[in-house]
Chains A and B, each alone.
Chain A
Amino acid sequence: MIDPGTVELSRLQFGLTAMYHFLFVPLTLGLSVLLAIMESVYVMTGRPIWRDMTRFWGVLFGINFAMGVATGITMEFQFGTNWAYYSQYVGDIFGAPLAIEGLMAFFLEATFVGLFFFGWDKMSRVGHLTATWLLALGTNLSALWILIANGWMQHPVGAAFNIHTMRMEVTSFYDVLFNPVAQAKFVHTVSAGYVTGAIFVLAISAWFLLKGRYAEFAKRSMTVAASFGLAAALSVVVLGDESGYTASQNQKMKIAAIEADWQTEAPPASFTVFGFPDVKDRTTHFAIRVPWLLGLIATRSLDEEVPGIVNLVAANAERIKHGIVAYRALETLRAHPDDSGAQADFANNKLDLGYALLLKKYTDKVVDATPAQIEQAAWDTVPGVAALFWAFRFMVAFGLYFIALFAFAFYLSARRRLDRYRWFLTAALWTLPLPWLSSELGWFVAEYGRQPWTIDGVLPTYLSVSSVSAGTVWTSLLGFVVFYSVLAVVELYLMVKYVRIGPAVGPSAAPRRAAPVAE
């Protein structure tokens, strides 16, 4: 028997640990590339200030790396304990990218972190620079393999259900690797990490300028952050559009929920900029719509429909009915493997087998499900519309704000006026938490939008959890909250402490103290 409390607690635990883990990841992704850029300039110009910049931002990178490393391992703990049925059912596919990530990317990353920190006086300039670039490469490769695993959960390609082993198995690792959803998510996620790194450098440099400390150091750091950040912020939007397009092709319900798109409009569909989704009445109140925009974004055409929630629910009810045929055929085949009729029924309907499993919430006799139960299960395929609607809009708003901020910083940098406007420096400083917030919102949209599935269309979430007691999950959840909260506090303490200490500026740099920005 599945305890609904255990299901919800296991989801909460996994969601919390994933979101805590992702507090550390984007900064590692972004800062590693910024360090490589700064050190490249140092090697090319030989100017010590660029080495000082690399070393100072490297210290903050090191603190974040040390606090963040292994925080993701708690999710691996949970796969085996809380999500044992998930692991059994899809571990053949899902486990491979996770193992490759650990063996290849993380070892690469961890090795070159060591060379980066301890190799300054032991390696040639070019040798150390190579280690720094390989560190950035390892960090990004880690993200690639994790997102291949996650992309497969969103769009399970290159795998098929094996009726003999009763689990999903790989049929094409190439398809798993080059899953368009995974590739789009990877580039979107790493660019969001680059934005986080760039805002981190921009905000702390702005603080130095506001305090009148390390002016030359801060202005150069801001110049790198502004140019890199502008390119990254523009990439986030372009690649986010690609990610949205792949989702609209493969996860139509997620897109319909994000847009609170209840009914199918005549193409091209309009985009709802603002409104209040009403789940009960299946409408969006006070909607402000931009004609054609959603159709263009989601289908890249003027004549293709973007299906609405009500229409998709009706389509999913049909898929549940097909799933019941596959389910019945599977039961027959397990008793009579040579039954040709059952073989044909299973082959024709196996892609909808997962939809029949949605009925398990309401009946143990799936093949005898009533029309009411089928309708109930079909409506279960709609994720939380209001939460997705707002989370997506805040994420996009933050993304557009980052472009404006970086564009203005880039303009000021080109005009050599970075320290001229106090309001700009203050805005840059207060922007510091926003890239984390938008990254978390992005993950929320991706994962909450996949509900009610762990593997989209294949395995419902409530069938993925183990038969562990809710009390055990509560206790371990409490342990994780304490553990991660302490880590976050230690990270903040160390970050603030070493930012206050500031860079070990050499004789080439500007004076440690300059007049604070007055205007």
Chain B
Amino acid sequence: MRMRLRFEIAFALAVKAAALTVLYLLFFAPAHRPEISAAAAAQHLYAAPLQGGSQ
């Protein structure tokens, strides 16, 4: 029983690691990440209005 459990957990962990890697590469890898410098943050916080003006 324990060998079976170990196999199932190891399999689930491997699939989970693969899924997380795919999600990371598709959406969150550095290529998808906006580069925000201090100057860009200052510009954002002290210049950019919300699209549409109000809600």
Contact = CB atoms under 8 A, between A and B. Distances in A.
A123 interface: no
A426 B47 CA distance: 60
Interface of A: 1-4, 59, 62-63, 66-67, 69-70, 73-74, 77-78, 80-81, 84-85, 87-89, 165-167, 327, 330-331, 334, 357, 360-364, 366, 376, 462-463, 466-468, 472, 475-476, 479-480, 483, 486-487, 490, 494, 498, 501, 504
B9 to A, nearest CB: 5
A331 B23 contact: no
B39 to A, nearest CB: 8
A462 B49 CA distance: 10
Contacts of B40: 88
Contacts of A466: 34, 36
A466 B33 CA distance: 9
Contact of A167 (B16, B41, B53): B41
A331 to B, nearest CB: 7
B28 A77 contact: yes
Contacts of B52: 4
30 contacts: A67-B12, A73-B20, A77-B23, A78-B28, A80-B28, A80-B33, A81-B28, A81-B34, A85-B41, A88-B40, A88-B41, A89-B45, A165-B38, A166-B42, A167-B41, A361-B50, A361-B54, A362-B50, A363-B49, A364-B47, A463-B45, A466-B34, A472-B27, A476-B27, A476-B28, A479-B23, A479-B26, A479-B27, A490-B12, A494-B5
A87 B36 contact: yes
B26 to A, nearest CB: 7
A331 B28 contact: no
B9 A63 contact: yes
B34 A4 contact: no
Contacts of A69: 13
Contact of A74 (B20, B42, B46, B47): B20
B41 to A, nearest CB: 4
Contacts of B48: 1-2, 360, 364
A480 B55 contact: no
A360 B28 CA distance: 28
Contacts of A487: 16
A500 B3 CA distance: 17
Interface in B1-31: 1, 5, 8-9, 12-13, 16-17, 19-20, 23-24, 26-28
Contacts of B28: 77-78, 80-81, 476
Given A1-B49, A67-B12, A80-B33, A74 B23 contact: yes
